[in-house]
Amino acid sequence: IVCNGYQSSHLYQSFLIANEHNFSWSDCFHCCSDNSARPLSLSGHVGFDSLPDQLVNKSTCQGFCFNILCIGETGIGKSTLMDTLFNTNFENCESSHFEPQVKLRAQTYDLQESNVRLRLTVVNTVGFGDQMNKHDSFQPVVDYIDRQYETYLQEELKIKRSLHNYHDSRLHACLYFISPSGHSLKSLDLVTMKKLDSKVNIIPVIAKADTISKSELHKFKIKIMSELVSNGVQIYQFPLDDETVAKVNTTMNGHLPFAVVGSTEEVLVGNKMVKARQYPWGVVQVENESHCDFVKLREMLICVNMEDLREQTHTRHYELYRRCKLEEMGFRDTDPESKPVSLQETYEAKRTEFLQELQRREEEMRQLFVQRVKEKESELKDAERELQGRFEQLKRLHAEERNVLEDKRRVLEEDQSSFNKRRAAAQLLQAQSLNVNGKKDKDRKK
């Protein structure tokens, strides 16, 4: 019987519920709240007491996934800690200190321990805190987390869903690496954690804790927690609702943030090889709880609370994103009168609203088009009148120039006619003069 009740136990918290839907065991088998149900005793063995075993076998066959986001400055030891946590070598390439902006690099690995398979995704923030202007260093991280939630939501809203074999890329835990300055948190750390606390489970860790003394480390932890509380940053608290792990989780909540040291090198201490960092003055053992909190972090992150981190991601952070997204889309659970509204009614109301908005915009565009056409016609008419006026003006100028040319042509023709007359008269006088001179010469000869 499925209902909204919730209770936890160590067995329920240890295994993933079928098909990675991230709902708890109690959501499947919690008793119905109807008090009219009659309790009955069985007269013999039925067999449904094997349901936990069936669930374990099915979950083991399907495998599990876990996604970790590592945030910290370049060279602070993120990759080394991941290698140490999972006792392997992820073969990460070194990052440069000269990245122009923050980039997120995700790498997925298939791990197996005994008969349990784990698909682990490690997301590293390349170039975080290396830029001169760190104002928007957190934005690529926020965008990446939102993209993973959006991808899952789109898959969930499909008609034909395949969530049983869907690779869940939502981030289940964020290890925020704090520089071991011994003074206080940087402004970038506070701003980034404040932006992420509603989107991912933040577990602060003090990196390279072997560079600070024990007394300074204790004061540094108190200072960090005080600053987180005063700035309203909500970090992940290990759950206390399960009696089997409440005691250890209560103790570990008092050790936050964990001061860790990572190393994959093995050093001979006594007659035993241990993971450690060797210095000229001595050896820092990674798995020695008197040297650092690495064992505490591994126990809390992997052995005790991994399933709770997955569940919190789904029931808290993803549900918050999903609710905000659906509210932005206009979906509501109740109407203004606080009456329940079905999805069909909400869809029809949203569709009607969309069609009305579409018609309104079409009408606005039509009116705008008509107005633009009228404005264009007016501009064309003004341009036509201007061209017509220029044409008339040019026509008048042409007529005036033509009249002037006609007058000049007429004067020229008159001058030419007068010149021809004078030339003819001159030629006639010259001819007469030649005739007279010729007669005189003849008479003189005679």
Q: What is the pLDDT along the chain (446 residues), one digit of tens a residue?
A: 333 333 333 333 343 333 444 444 444 444 444 567 888 888 888 888 889 888 888 888 888 899 999 998 888 888 889 999 998 888 776 766 677 788 889 999 999 988 889 999 999 998 888 877 778 888 999 999 999 999 999 888 888 888 777 888 999 999 999 998 878 888 899 999 999 999 999 999 999 988 888 889 999 999 999 999 999 999 999 988 888 888 999 999 888 899 999 888 888 888 888 888 888 888 888 888 888 999 999 999 999 999 999 999 999 999 999 999 888 877 777 767 777 767 777 778 778 888 999 999 999 999 999 999 999 999 999 999 999 999 999 999 999 999 999 999 999 999 999 999 998 999 888 888 888 877 777 777 76
β-bridge mates for residue 282, sequence order: 279
β-bridge mates for residue 266, sequence order: 275
23/319 Cα distance (integer angstroms):
12
The per-residue pLDDT for 446 is: 66
Q: Which pTM does this prediction carry?
A: 0.70
Q: At what angle do helices 214-230 and 187-196 cross, to 10 degrees?
A: 50
The per-residue pLDDT for 32 is: 42
Contact between 99 and 202 (Cβ < 8 Å): no
The per-residue pLDDT for 361 is: 93
Question: For residue 363, how many other CB atoms are within 10 A of its CB?
Answer: 10
Say which residues have a Cβ less than 8 Å from residue 211's Cβ, sequence separation at least 6.
180
How far lies 357's CA from each of 96, 238, 360, 436, in Å?
A: 51, 48, 5, 116
Burial class (CB in 10 A: 0-12, 13-18, 19+), 66: buried
Tokens, residue 130: 């290396």
The per-residue pLDDT for 25 is: 41
